[in-house]
Amino acid sequence: MTTVDTQAGEFWTARRINRTALVTMGVMLLAWSVDYIDRFAISMALPSIGAEFGLGKTAQGWLVTVFALVYLACQIPAGFLADRYGSRVPMLVTLVLWSGFTALTGMAGTFGVLLLVRALFGVCQGCFPAASFKAIAERTTPANRGTAAGVMLSASGIGSGLAPLIVGPLLMAVGWRHTFLWMAGCGALIGVAVWAVLPKRLPDRLTRLPGETDAPAVPRSRVLRAGVIWKFALLFCVTNMLS
């Protein structure tokens, strides 16, 4: 079957639509896997970091907590940015910047600087999920969107499973500082690859349900006041805590 985007004058065959979804799933799976590997690396490096800076367990824990708090605070603003600018630019910026802060983690000379760098790392990673879900919404049809999101989210298990296999040997071989530098270089390359490989978005009419028409814009304040939004937020919060 062939469908035509009459506004852009492009032909979108079923094969092209499915290929766009498949490539998007692969790109998002890779990007999220790197996300989780980078995120878990700090936990495995904490003993070495604590020994070098003379940190107790509480101070070491703050390196994880500051990331989590900033990551939390960035979710809603990140959603606004994704809605305004789409997915491609925010994803590239966040991937490259978080790779930069991963490198700066390995260069930090004091605990205070390291704490600041991990907070900024949290800003970059906190802006990534909204952009990635936007990428899925822009490049899938309603019929395959759930599958695409499921494949993307499976990276949480893949990344956390691969992290010890990748980060552990690096820590043993080159130390914690050079481990973060190596990871930063790989992350930056993957960020550029995501930019280059991510397919063109589908026409808007292909991303909607059959018969769906343009709806009037809903103010963001109304969205944030919706009880169902906060119920889902609480659900995800509890799920993440238990997992």
Amino acid 17 reads I
Q: What is d(CA 230, CA 223) in angstroms, rounded to the nearest whole number?
A: 10
Residue 145 lies in a domain: yes
Q: What is d(CA 29, CA 131) in angstroms, rounded to the nearest whole number?
A: 14
Q: What is d(CA 243, CA 185) in angstroms, rounded to the nearest whole number?
A: 30
Q: How far apart are the first and last CA of the chain?
A: 43
Residue 103 lies in a domain: yes
The DSSP element (H or E) to which 37 belongs, if any, is helix 14-53
Amino acid 32 reads W
Residue 72 lies in a domain: yes
Residue 193 lies in a domain: yes
Q: What is d(CA 203, CA 7) in angstroms, rounded to the nearest whole number?
A: 9
Q: What are phi and psi of 92, to 5 degrees?
A: -65, -45
What pLDDT shows up at residue 13?
Answer: 87
Q: What's CA 24's distance to the chain center, in Å?
A: 14
> Per-residue confidence of the chain (243 residues) as pLDDT tens digits?
445 454 456 788 889 999 999 999 999 999 899 889 988 999 999 999 999 999 999 999 999 999 999 998 998 899 889 988 888 888 888 888 989 999 999 999 999 999 999 999 999 999 999 999 999 999 999 989 999 999 998 998 899 899 999 999 999 999 999 999 999 998 888 888 888 888 999 988 888 876 666 666 777 778 778 888 888 788 877 776 665
Residue 96 lies in a domain: yes
What pLDDT shows up at residue 1?
Answer: 45
Give the CATH number, domain containing residue 178.
1.20.1250.20
**Has this prediction a pTM greater than 0.85?**
no
- What is the residue whose two structure tokens read 């991963």? 102
What pLDDT shows up at residue 2?
Answer: 47
Note the residue count of the chain.
243
What pLDDT shows up at residue 211?
Answer: 63
What pLDDT shows up at residue 234?
Answer: 83
Neighbouring C-beta atoms of residue 164, cutoff 10 Å? 15
Q: Quick check: 103 and 184 in contact, CB under 8 A?
A: yes
Residue 6 lies in a domain: no
Q: What is d(CA 122, CA 37) in angstroms, rounded to the nearest whole number?
A: 14
Residue 232 lies in a domain: no
Neighbouring C-beta atoms of residue 6, cutoff 10 Å? 9
What pLDDT shows up at residue 172?
Answer: 94
Residue 227 lies in a domain: no
Range of the domain at 112: 26-200
Number of domains the chain is built from: 1
